[in-house]
Amino acid sequence: MKNYFLLIVILLVFSCRNNTQTIQTVTGKISPEEIGKTLHHEHLLVDFVAADSINYDRWDKNEVVEKVLPYLFEIKNAGYSTLVDATPAFLGRDPLLLKMLSEQSGVQILTNTGLYGAYKIHLPKYFYEETAEELSQRWINEYKNSIEGTGVFPGFIKIAVDRAPLEDIHRKLVKAACLTHLQTGLTIMSHTGLAVPAFQQLEILKENGVHPSAFIWTHANNEKDYTKQIEAAKMGTWIAFDKFMPESKDEYIAFAKLMKKSGLLNKLLFSHDSGWFDPAKPGGGEIRGYMDIENFLIPALKENGFSQEDIDLLFIKNPAEAFTVKIRSI
Ligand SMILES: [Zn+2]
């Protein structure tokens, strides 16, 4: 009898542990409830020099921190808890820099694993030599053992395809992302834009047994035939209107209304795709901050009949669900 009781306790503990959902930030795991108000697609540093020339010596971490920190304090003071940094490897992803910025600002930051294939110069040489399986092993290794031994772990997968129909290299990237997702539960954020490559990617997800809810259709604001976003959202895909600027307010409001009317507000993500320190420019160049959503979009949503509950869905609950580390298989 005693043993039986012990067994039940062990099983309960085990099942609780398995059900514990987490989001991976650069300073450790948090629960989805802890994500708070979130900007789901921004950049702190981007270096557009090619993959064969990029290295961490191209910027001084302290100089970047000094320049970028005020912008993080600005959103922190406006009530934001989390910023997702969408800069991939070979474009300036710097896990230790992100950790410094998070620790000094108090803003939770997520970084990523994956590769950027929209412009081929950002793909490293090994990408062309390896299979999707081999690439996914690199990314799974970062998930398991941290990025380059820094102790900083990726919170999602970032890939990028072209605006045009997919080429073989993009198919390989997407397949590698699928294989990584199935082993790690990391969500796939894919720089996409138009509907044709979006649906081609969803087809590859399907072939690999990955549910569309593991996929963020990034830069979906570029596709003007909104029936496509509605169709993808109905399948479970996250729709990211992530280039908000004050002048795009009416467009973003109209799309939010359409999503709400379609009962799909729970699949919509908003962000700025803003920033960033650019090592190619003197002093890092000019940074565009992360406050336009707070100053222009949220007030406009309220004026257009969106409730506080709707706004919390867009900026808290949806990011929490989208970035929860969870295998979403078919
Ligand atoms: Zn971006």
Q: How is the chain split into domains, by residue range?
A: 34-322
Structure-block tokens of residue 185: 């539960």
CA of 293 relative to ligand 1 center, distance in Å: 16
Q: β-pairing, 238-241 with 268-270? A: parallel
CA of 88 relative to ligand 1 center, distance in Å: 9
CA of 87 relative to ligand 1 center, distance in Å: 7
pTM of the model: 0.94
Exposed, middle or buried: residue 27 (CB in 10 Å: 0-12, 13-18, 19+)?
middle
CA of 86 relative to ligand 1 center, distance in Å: 5
**What is the reported pLDDT for 43?**
98
What pLDDT digit, counting tens, does each position of 6-27 carry? 666 665 555 545 568 999 999 9
Residues 273 and 44: their CA atoms lie apart, in Å, by 10
CA of 187 relative to ligand 1 center, distance in Å: 16
Cβ within 8 Å of residue 227, ≥6 positions away: none
CB 210 within 8 A of CB 178: yes
Task: Specify the fold of 34-322.
Answer: TIM Barrel (3.20.20)
CA of 16 relative to ligand 1 center, distance in Å: 36
CA of 14 relative to ligand 1 center, distance in Å: 38
CB 43 within 8 A of CB 289: no
User: How far is residue 236 from each of residues 16, 181, 184, 214, 315, measured CA to CA in Å?
Assistant: 26, 16, 19, 8, 18
Q: Where is pLDDT greater, at 179 or 4?
A: 179
What pLDDT digit, counting tens, does each position of 67-78 carry? 999 999 999 999
Query: Given phi > 0 = left and psi -120 to 50 = alpha, else beta, which region is 279?
Result: alpha
Query: ∠ CA 187-271-287 to the nearest 5 degrees?
Result: 115
CA of 85 relative to ligand 1 center, distance in Å: 8
Residue 174 pLDDT grade (very low, low, confident, very high; cuts 50, 70, 90): very high
Residues 107 and 48: their CA atoms lie apart, in Å, by 25
**What is the reported pLDDT for 14?**
56
Residue 255 pLDDT grade (very low, low, confident, very high; cuts 50, 70, 90): very high
CA of 158 relative to ligand 1 center, distance in Å: 10
Of all residues in the chain, the percent with pLDDT exceeding 90 is 92
Residues 136 and 225: their CA atoms lie apart, in Å, by 33
Q: What is the mean pLDDT of residues 247-263?
A: 98
CA of 273 relative to ligand 1 center, distance in Å: 5
CA of 283 relative to ligand 1 center, distance in Å: 21
CA of 195 relative to ligand 1 center, distance in Å: 18
Examine the pLDDT at 4 and tell me if it is beyond 90.
Answer: no
Cα–Cα nearest to 70, from 108, 42, 104:
104
Residue 223 pLDDT grade (very low, low, confident, very high; cuts 50, 70, 90): very high
Residues 226 and 5: their CA atoms lie apart, in Å, by 56
β-strand partners of 158: 189
CA of 186 relative to ligand 1 center, distance in Å: 18
CA of 128 relative to ligand 1 center, distance in Å: 23
Cα–Cα nearest to 81, from 43, 44, 45, 40:
40
Q: Which helix (H) or strand (E) holds 65?
A: helix 61-77
CA of 122 relative to ligand 1 center, distance in Å: 14
Residues 185 and 175: their CA atoms lie apart, in Å, by 14
Cis check for the bond before 238: say yes or no (omega within 30 of 0): no
CA of 5 relative to ligand 1 center, distance in Å: 52
CA of 71 relative to ligand 1 center, distance in Å: 17
CA of 43 relative to ligand 1 center, distance in Å: 6
Cβ within 8 Å of residue 146, ≥6 positions away: 95, 152, 153
Q: Which helix (H) or strand (E) holds 129?
A: helix 125-129
CA of 11 relative to ligand 1 center, distance in Å: 43
**What is the reported pLDDT for 20?**
87
